[in-house]
Structure 1
Amino acid sequence: MAWVWLIVGGFFEVGFTTCLRYVDGFRNVPWTIGFLVSVGLSMGLLEVASRSIPMGTAYAVWGGIGALGTVIVGIVWFGEPAHLARIALIVALVACIGGLKLTAH
């Protein structure tokens, strides 16, 4: 179950990075609330997961999910570049996350 919490926490990391784009110096209240809620849930779920998963592995996977998700959101919704090198690096990131999960025991 710890891996499920870690993955969900990684998705909330994507949520807070996306909200961060719109907080406008924390003056945009709805996006600021979304940011704060997402940060709290993301960090809380990382803490819960790290009770069963080694902290270094949990943090690397959590951060990798957040980075991967943020890049995908940037490409899909914000028109950021999606050239071959960037896609190859995303694939490598996913491979590294999978490798960390496989070696966590």
Structure 2
Amino acid sequence: MAWFLLFSAGLLEILFAISLKFNEGFTKLWPSVATAVFGAGSFYLLMLALKYLPIGTAYAVWTGIGAVGVAIVGVFLFKESIDWLRVVSIFLVITGIVGLKLTDSQ
């Protein structure tokens, strides 16, 4: 259950970061509300997961999910560049996330 909470927190972290792009410095109401809701939800689920997971593992996985998710969304939604170095870098972060999961006894 802790890993499900952590994965869900990571997904909300992706939505949080994307909503930052759309709220334009908190000048647009609904994107700003979404930023607050996604951010609070992400932190809350991370906090729940931290009851059962080591902080180093949980925080690294949470930020990794957010980083990979936003990088991938950036390519498709915001037409950011995609090249071999970006793909390899994303793959390395994913490898790190999987490695941390495999080393945990939960």
TM-score, length of structure 2 as denominator length: 0.97
Q: Deviations over 1:26-73 (max 9, x none)?
A: 110000000000000000000000100101100000000000000001
* Alignment match, 1:6: 6
Within-5 A mapping of 1:12-27? 12-27=12-27
**Aligned residue pair count:** 105
The letter of the residue matching 1:25 is G
Q: Which residue identity is paired with 1:76?
A: F
Task: Kindly provide the amino acid, as one letter, of the partner of residue 64 in structure 1.
Answer: G
In structure 2, what is the Cα distance between the partners aligned to 1:90 and 1:81? 13
Asked if residue 40 in structure 1 is aligned to residue 22 in structure 2, the reply is no
The match for 2:86 is 86
- Return the TM-score normalized by structure 1: 0.98
Structure 1 partner of 2:61:
61
Distance 2:24 2:94 in 1: 31
CA distance in 1, matches of 2:59, 2:67: 12
Identity %: 39
2: distance between equivalents of 1:63 and 1:25? 22
In structure 1, the gaps of 5 or more residues are: none
Quick check: 1:70 aligned with 2:70?
A: yes
User: In angstroms, what is the RMSD of aligned CA positions?
Assistant: 0.6
